[in-house]
């Protein structure tokens, strides 16, 4: 019943921008850390950006200065603004919520979305 749904992926030219969003199902009450990961074909999944509640965001070195992560605690959503996109940014992007509390009383689980594909190509 707990679900995360990413949106905003697609095909974009190098130097372009995309904004990814992650919507949480209503049975999610809160999450400590929200983040974005990505995985390119044949490569390991890697952290792109994460932001804890009440804390500062951290970014992978490869995206610093280009990507911005933000969260809305009232809606339990997390977004990723991606600017100056490069071909090497091509990957499936996943959102992740950590230490989640749900309406069923479960607390402490981590949840992943199913991913959205970002392709940067001319």
- Taking alpha carbons only, the member of 80, 81, 88, 92 closest to residue 34 is 80
| Average pLDDT of the chain to the nearest whole number | 95
Q: d(Cα 64, Cα 54) in Å, to the nearest integer?
A: 20
Q: Write down the pLDDT at residue 1.
A: 78
pLDDT in tens, 47-77: 999 999 999 999 999 999 999 999 998 888 9
What confidence category does residue 19 fall into, taking pLDDT thresholds of 50, 70 and 90? very high
What confidence category does residue 119 fall into, taking pLDDT thresholds of 50, 70 and 90? very high
Q: d(Cα 9, Cα 111) in Å, to the nearest integer?
A: 20
């Amino acid at each position: 019943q707990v679900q995360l749904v990413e949106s905003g992926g697609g095909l974009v030219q190098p130097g372009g921008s995309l904004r990814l969003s992650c919507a949480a199902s209503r049975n999610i009450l809160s999450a400590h850390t929200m983040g974005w990961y990505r995985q390119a074909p044949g490569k390991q999944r890697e952290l792109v950006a994460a932001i804890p509640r009440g804390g500062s965001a951290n970014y992978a070195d490869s995206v610093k200065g280009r990507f911005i992560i933000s969260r809305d605690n009232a809606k339990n959503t997390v977004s990723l603004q991606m600017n100056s996109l490069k071909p090497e940014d091509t990957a499936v992007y996943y959102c992740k919520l950590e230490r989640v509390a749900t309406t069923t009383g479960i607390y402490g689980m981590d949840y992943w979305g199913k991913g959205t594909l970002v392709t940067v190509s001319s």
